[in-house]
Amino acid sequence: MKLKAFVFALFASLLGFSTIAQDMSEDAIKERIKPVGSVHVAGAQAESAAAAGPRSGADVYNASCVACHGPGVMGAPKLHDAADWSPRMDKGMETLLDHAINGFNAMPPKGTCGNCSDDEIKAAIEYMVEGI
């Protein structure tokens, strides 16, 4: 009697497992783990997933660089300030760009613009040294 109950329980478990295993297709998994909803923060604008093209140097500066390069935090050269930029410019644009992309002294890699492309970082540098 106990053996029959055990065999029945084992068979039922295996049957249940095979039913679950059949539902392990990629589509079934995606359906089970898809997000239930989304969050909307009032006043925030949704960013388009489509790229609008590279940002201008001024846009990158105003969004990410101004926090340090505006007031000259920890020795950061200030916007359009020849006295601050001249010693750095003497090393050449390639060195400036390398330092901006990879970090140098107190500046972290890409400053505070982790999603900027190398070209956008270069455009921001060109904007900051414009007219010098």
The reply to whether CATH 1.10.760.10 applies to domain 57-128 is yes
Predicted confidence pLDDT, tens digits, the chain (132 residues)? 677 777 777 776 766 655 555 567 888 878 877 887 777 777 766 555 445 789 999 999 999 999 999 999 999 999 999 999 999 999 999 999 999 999 999 999 999 898 999 999 999 999 999 988
Three-state secondary-structure class, residue 107: strand
Model pLDDT, residue 39: 76
For 74-83, the CB contacts below 8 A with 24+ separation are: 74/105, 74/106, 75/105, 75/106, 76/106, 76/107, 77/128, 79/128, 80/128, 80/129, 80/130, 80/131, 80/132, 81/132, 82/132
Running DSSP on this structure, what letter comes out for residue 34? S
Model pLDDT, residue 34: 80
For the chain, domain boundaries: 57-128
Proportion of the chain in helix, strand, coil states, percent, rounded to 5:
55, 0, 40
